[in-house]
Amino acid sequence: MKYILFLLTPVIVFATSSFITESEYAAQLYKNPRGIACGLCHGDKGEGKLIAKYMHKNKKKSFIGPPINSIKYSEFYKAMHLRKKGMPQYYLTSKEIEALYFYLHKDDKKRVKNVK
């Protein structure tokens, strides 16, 4: 009996911990939320990115993914639910949106104040 308890101790101890940290989860979510990475349009750190240059009616145009690393959480949350200017709708949960926001603001000391 004590051998079984000895063998199960590591399982019991580590069963409450996750195999992936919140930070790792958020990074993976940003890199591939639903098949298309956020960074492809918004840059590796959400700083914004030029997606394409094109001509329309003989005028040069640019399609730019806007910066998303400097907006408040309420604006970020709202933007994730709107389909606007090429932004696909990912149907993310509130927890996923929060994780993405924290990923973009992981180095901010006041990041928690912007949430909700």
Please state the domain extents for the chain: 19-114
Place of tokens 């996923």: 96
pLDDT at residue 34 tops 70: no
pTM above 0.85, yes or no: no
Measured CA to CA, the distance from residue 113 to residue 110 in angstroms comes to 6
Mean pLDDT lowest for which of 15-29, 36-50, 55-69? Answer: 15-29
Please determine, for residue 116, whether its predicted confidence score (pLDDT) is greater than 60: no
Look at 39 and 19; give whichever has higher pLDDT.
39
Question: In the structure, what pLDDT confidence band is assigned to residue 49 with cuts at 50, 70 and 90?
Answer: very high
